């Protein structure tokens, strides 16, 4: 019986120190499994192979839930399944509206490319926004949420805790104010 199989047997019998002995023996192989699983995921995955290994390992050697492994191969099959379930759980969580739902990640440079002509416009907007913020912080906050954070009108209103009608009034005022300030800055 291999050392891993003996330790797995000790874990099955409830030996809490056996789990500590197992990780160093199987860590490299679990890491390879995790890297293979993550390589199949879409680009932009924020979960690291190390984190996936640790979470899966904690699920596998949970002393409160008796696990029964017939062999080393059975353990690694269970590890692969645990990693798959963790990735599925993470994907489901990302689909929830609270965690972004159907929104897609956009790089800031794609939204506001800083070319030389846009850089001047951005600086002008910044100055106008600072002036608006000194006069009306709530209206400036709405502009920041809509323009820089990319929130929809409704999402920005909810984030600020104001009604949609109030957000409409703030937005209308802020657009005119900022346009006037930016036009004045262009003239001078």
Per-residue pLDDT of the chain (188 residues; tens, 9 = 90+): 477 778 777 777 777 677 677 777 777 878 887 777 777 666 666 678 888 888 887 887 765 665 666 666 677 777 777 787 787 787 777 777 776 666 666 665 555 554 555 556 777 888 888 999 999 999 998 888 887 777 788 888 888 889 999 999 999 999 999 989 888 877 76
Going by the DSSP 8-state scheme, the letter that residue 71 receives in this structure is: S
Cα 14 to Cα 11: distance, rounded to the nearest angstrom: 5
Distance of CA 144 to the CA centre of its chain: 21
- In angstroms, the Cα distances linking 27 to 17, 49, 56, 140, 147 are 16, 11, 11, 51, 46
Helices 72-95, 3-12: inter-axial angle, 10-degree rounding: 60
- In angstroms, the Cα distances linking 128 to 35, 67, 82, 176 are 48, 63, 53, 11
């Amino acid at each position: 019986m291999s050392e891993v199989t003996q330790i797995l047997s000790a874990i099955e019998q409830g030996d809490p120190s056996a789990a500590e002995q197992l990780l160093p023996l199987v860590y490299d192989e679990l890491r390879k499994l995790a890297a293979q699983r993550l390589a199949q995921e879409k680009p932009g995955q924020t979960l690291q192979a190390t984190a996936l290994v640790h979470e899966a390992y904690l699920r596998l050697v949970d002393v409160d839930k008796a696990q029964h492994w017939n062999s080393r191969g059975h353990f690694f099959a269970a590890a692969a399944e645990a990693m798959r379930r963790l990735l599925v759980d993470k994907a489901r969580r990302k689909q929830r509206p609270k965690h972004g739902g159907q929104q897609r990640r956009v790089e800031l440079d794609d939204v506001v490319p800083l070319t030389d002509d846009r850089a001047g416009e951005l600086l002008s907007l910044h100055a106008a926004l600072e002036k608006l913020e000194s006069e009306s912080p709530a209206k400036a906050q709405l502009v920041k949420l809509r323009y820089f954070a990319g929130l929809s009108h409704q999402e920005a209103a909810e984030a600020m805790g104001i009604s949609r009608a109030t957000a409409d009034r703030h937005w209308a005022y802020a657009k005119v104010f900022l346009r006037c300030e930016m036009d004045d800055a262009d003239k001078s």
